[in-house]
Structure 1
Amino acid sequence: MSAAPKRRLSFRDILTDGRVALMLPLGFSSGLPFLLVFSTLSAWLREAGISRTEIGMLSWVALAYSFKFLWAPIVDRYDVPVLARLLGRRRGWMALSQIVVALGLVGIASSNPQTSLWLTVASALLVAFASATQDVVVDGWRIDVAATERQGMMAASYQLGYRLALICAGAGALYIAEFVNWRSAYIAMTALMVVGIVGTLFAPRADEGAAREHLPIADAIVEPVADLFRRKGLILVPILALIACFRLPDFVAGVMANPLYIDLGFSKADIANVSKLYGVWVGIIGAFAGGLALTRLGLWWTLLIGAAIAASSNLMFAWLALEGARLDLLIATISFDNFAAGFAGSALIAYMSGLTSPGFAATQYALLSSLYALPGKLIGGASGAVVDAYGYPLLFTATASIGIPLVILCFVVRRDTMQTVREKDEKAEAVPAVGAGSRA
């Protein structure tokens, strides 16, 4: 039985819905810290003479993003003193996490990797923990304040803000570091966190009544996992394997790409222009291409294509490492890699969203989004040692080969993916839309 066509959101809906617009500053605030404790920081550390092995290990600070599900129930259940009374639970946690991110960035700016590496690492850990907490709260707020049919546009607005932040934290920070210094670059990034704080102050309060009736903390973690196993059964094993490895090549490339550019002799201006400015816009195009593919080809085909091109894009880095500092090849590498990453990202977000159930949507999404980043962070931490021992070409070729099991896993989960899409469509037809007016 074919489902009746669903009403599509018009541009008028987009322009008049303040919640969609607010995802831009919130997405910006979420995206800004990521590169500042990841690839941008790795460029500063490499220039300061820190070994590639140490840089790879320091990337483990980003593991906070992979374990955020552990404290997500605490964020759901408890209020932030003072801030919750003024702003509400969700916005109180948002404001607190944004303030702590800013403090951590000041700490990085105040450190000197050559003489006080411990301060750099401690501050980066603080930024990563607070940033991961902000992601949990923003996802929870997004799910609470908007009905299901609005979530796609909310996520698209969030992704645009996120990628604009990547331009600032990538190209912007490198430009400032090139023409002033690294300390000024991180101070400037600290000031930009005001964008997210303003978004938080303008955001409407979420429906927080249900949060006060949550399960005990231990059960709040166990129940969402148990729900996934009840609904999916044994097919959940390959599903989780697919999610865990889907972005692994991209994460490894993110750790070692900037050290590769530095070692090949590209200037920070070249890296900023091609990788952090031009590349981000290519990534945005890739994300929208992934969204278009979802509507034209369906979820499974988009997932399959994303898995194949995202992994194979690492072969371009291996080629670049062999050829040397060729600007034309750098442009080609960044073009392929960022388009593939944006395309694959859209596919994975849609896939993980489809796996959640309404009663546990926020916590399950935190669990799944934590899982997809974990293997990449762990292997990325050892990537510097692999480069030191065997060179860049072997690292990137090996990570590209992960695309083979990923494609196989896509075929394994094909039937379940098709069934999940049908079930979501049927539920969307049966459940009436909930507008913002019903959210106090």
Structure 2
Amino acid sequence: MSAWLLLLALLYFVQGMPYGIQINFLPIILRTHGFSLTKIALLKLLFLPWLFKLLWSPYVDKYGSRKQWLMGTLVLQATVCLLTAFLPFSDISTLAFMLFLLNVCTSVSDISVDALAVEILSSEDVGLGNVAQVVGYKLGGVTAGALYMLLHHSFGHGFTYLLLAVVYMATLFVVIPLSLGTHKSTSSKEKTTLSPPSHTIREALLVPGTIWMVIYTTFYKCGENGSIHMVPMFLLDNDIPEGKVALCSGVIGSCMTILGSLFGGSVLKRYSAYEASCWLNPTRLFIMTVILISVSIWPWVPSLHATISNLLLLLACCQLFCSGLSTTVAFTWMMHLTQRAPEHLQITHYTILATSEVLGKLLSSSLLGYVADSLGYSSTFLLLSVAVGAITAMIVHPPPILKSLGTAAKE
């Protein structure tokens, strides 16, 4: 099983590379180039292909093998990165289009990797599997993002994309000799009678506990995720050095999410996902409240700006630690619920849950820039605190079936 966990970690690592550049580092560079918060936030729409997964996941599941889809998407990802490497950074529109294509390829790849994880992980290994997923993804993000930040000024943004293309091709050569692509639809008849995606989605939503879980996964990260992206913008707008903000919120912050995810694996050996969420969400609310207070008093205490800025960076790192922990807990919870679904619905079921998580983060991050530009930072952080508080209240009464899910030790 350890070899399979390493393979999953590698596949999620390469998935996380584009995300790390687009989320943690590109906004900082664009902000220093004078882009408005609204325009920076709209770049999050590049992640729309992750929402489309729900529509094409039944076809990915039925046609071709896991290996064929993985190999095909790796080749396409390498090609897109190679083309992007020769674009000038000033051509933002074309660069955005290429990143959109990269997200299309990555989202298709994610369906196959998630399906592989659901198939090969036993109930006892789900927690470790999700640690490999989250940590691999975060490591890919921080590695690519840090390279982008370090190399952007010296060599231009294209050099990083060349390195990404090399990594995708190296991963392809790892996948080629492996025997992991045997899954196909079981007969030609099944292929010709494939149910419309809407029917499959409806069936999956009827699995007990799914509707509550969809609502939870849609909103559990909205407040926290918004704060994680707004704190660096707030500090940059108040003349905190770009390098300091990028180091703390980007490199150190990404490492904190990885540590949080690893800690989540230890937590899930002792507690169910529900039990972990019961103390984790109030902790997230406390951190969010302190950030709100710090931002609100900023204009009134100029003598404390250095102290408050350092406190905000520390709190942002704490939020990122909790974010990594909550992601591991939530995805473990999701996968255990998916394994309770009928086998023919499992891939679509898991894709629904994963897509709802992306939807929540995408909506909050896309609208957040406009809200901040219109209402100011204090009001924005107040809304984010309310969002975290609502999730903290929601976790009090989940469906009974969900309370027993989330840890192999208790099943």
The answer, yes or no, to whether TM exceeds 0.5 is: yes
Matched, 1:305 2:279: yes
Which amino acid in structure 2 is aligned with residue 225 of structure 1? R
Q: What is the DSSP-based 3-state SS (H/G/I as helix, E as strand, rest coil) of the residue aligned with 2:48? A: helix
Matches within 5 A, 1:219-230: 219-229=196-206
Matched, 1:246 2:220: yes
Please say if residues 106 and 186 of structure 1, whose CA atoms lie closer than 8 Å, have aligned partners that are also in contact: yes
Tell me the residue number matched to 2:301.
Answer: none
* Alignment partners' CA distance in 2, 1:375 and 1:47: 27
Please say if residues 50 and 103 of structure 2, whose CA atoms lie closer than 8 Å, have aligned partners that are also in contact: yes
Tell me the residue number matched to 2:176.
Answer: 201
2:257 to 283, 295, 311: 283
Matches within 5 A, 1:246-395: 246-315=220-289, 317-318=291-292, 321=295, 322=298, 324=305, 328-356=310-338, 357-359=341-343, 360-395=345-380
1:123 to 98, 114, 122: 98
Give the C-alpha shift of residue 37 in structure 1. Answer: 2.9
The worse-fitting range, judged by mean Cα deviation, of 320-329 and 189-198 is: 320-329
* Alignment partners' CA distance in 1, 2:9 and 2:177: 12
The worse-fitting range, judged by mean Cα deviation, of 342-351 and 99-108 is: 99-108
Give the C-alpha shift of residue 218 in structure 1. Answer: 4.2
The worse-fitting range, judged by mean Cα deviation, of 251-260 and 63-72 is: 251-260
* Alignment partners' CA distance in 2, 1:27 and 1:134: 10
Which whole-Å deviations, capped at 9, do the CAs of 1:274-320 have from their partners, x for residues lacking one? 22222222222212322322232322121223333345544455466
Change (3 A) 1:236 1:367: closer
Matched, 1:154 2:129: yes
Which amino acid in structure 1 is aligned with residue 200 of structure 2? E
Q: What is the DSSP-based 3-state SS (H/G/I as helix, E as strand, rest coil) of the residue aligned with 1:49? A: coil
Which amino acid in structure 1 is aligned with residue 68 of structure 2? G
Structure 2 unaligned spans of 5+: 299-303
Please say if residues 25 and 246 of structure 2, whose CA atoms lie closer than 8 Å, have aligned partners that are also in contact: no
* Alignment partners' CA distance in 2, 1:317 and 1:195: 42
Tell me the residue number matched to 1:54.
Answer: 39
Give the C-alpha shift of residue 217 in structure 1. Answer: 4.6
Which amino acid in structure 2 is aligned with residue 408 of structure 1? A
Matched, 1:168 2:168: no
The worse-fitting range, judged by mean Cα deviation, of 139-148 and 251-260 is: 251-260
Matches within 5 A, 1:41-120: 41-79=26-64, 89-112=65-88, 114=90, 116-120=91-95
Which whole-Å deviations, capped at 9, do the CAs of 1:178-221 have from their partners, x for residues lacking one? 44433333333333333432442243223314455358454455
* Alignment partners' CA distance in 1, 2:331 and 2:393: 20
Give the C-alpha shift of residue 56 in structure 1. Answer: 1.1
Tell me the residue number matched to 1:35.
Answer: 20
Which whole-Å deviations, capped at 9, do the CAs of 1:37-65 have from their partners, x for residues lacking one? 33322223223332221111121111222
Tell me the residue number matched to 2:383.
Answer: 398
Please say if residues 74 and 172 of structure 2, whose CA atoms lie closer than 8 Å, have aligned partners that are also in contact: yes
* Alignment partners' CA distance in 1, 2:162 and 2:223: 31
**Matched pairs, number:** 398
* Alignment partners' CA distance in 2, 1:302 and 1:43: 33
Give the C-alpha shift of residue 413 in structure 1. Answer: 0.7
Give the C-alpha shift of residue 237 in structure 1. Answer: 4.0
Q: What is the DSSP-based 3-state SS (H/G/I as helix, E as strand, rest coil) of the residue aligned with 1:402? A: helix
* Alignment partners' CA distance in 2, 1:195 and 1:249: 37
Give the C-alpha shift of residue 401 in structure 1. Answer: 1.5
Which amino acid in structure 2 is aligned with residue 63 of structure 1? L
Tell me the residue number matched to 1:3.
Answer: none
Which whole-Å deviations, capped at 9, do the CAs of 1:8-35 have from their partners, x for residues lacking one? xxxxx63xxx212212221211111112
The worse-fitting range, judged by mean Cα deviation, of 314-323 and 39-48 is: 314-323
Change (3 A) 1:320 1:120: farther
Matches within 5 A, 1:417-432: 417-420=402-405
Please say if residues 265 and 328 of structure 2, whose CA atoms lie closer than 8 Å, have aligned partners that are also in contact: yes
Which whole-Å deviations, capped at 9, do the CAs of 1:309-361 have from their partners, x for residues lacking one? 34554445546653656563254123211111011111111211122115122
Give the C-alpha shift of residue 109 in structure 1. Answer: 3.8
The worse-fitting range, judged by mean Cα deviation, of 392-401 and 118-127 is: 392-401
Which amino acid in structure 2 is aligned with residue 282 of structure 1? M
* Alignment partners' CA distance in 2, 1:295 and 1:312: 25
- CA RMSD of the aligned region, Å? 2.9
Identity of aligned residues (%): 18
Change (3 A) 1:107 1:334: farther
* Alignment partners' CA distance in 2, 1:245 and 1:414: 17
* Alignment partners' CA distance in 1, 2:30 and 2:152: 12
* Alignment partners' CA distance in 1, 2:192 and 2:228: 38
Give the C-alpha shift of residue 159 in structure 1. Answer: 2.7
Matched, 1:22 2:7: yes
Tell me the residue number matched to 1:181.
Answer: 156
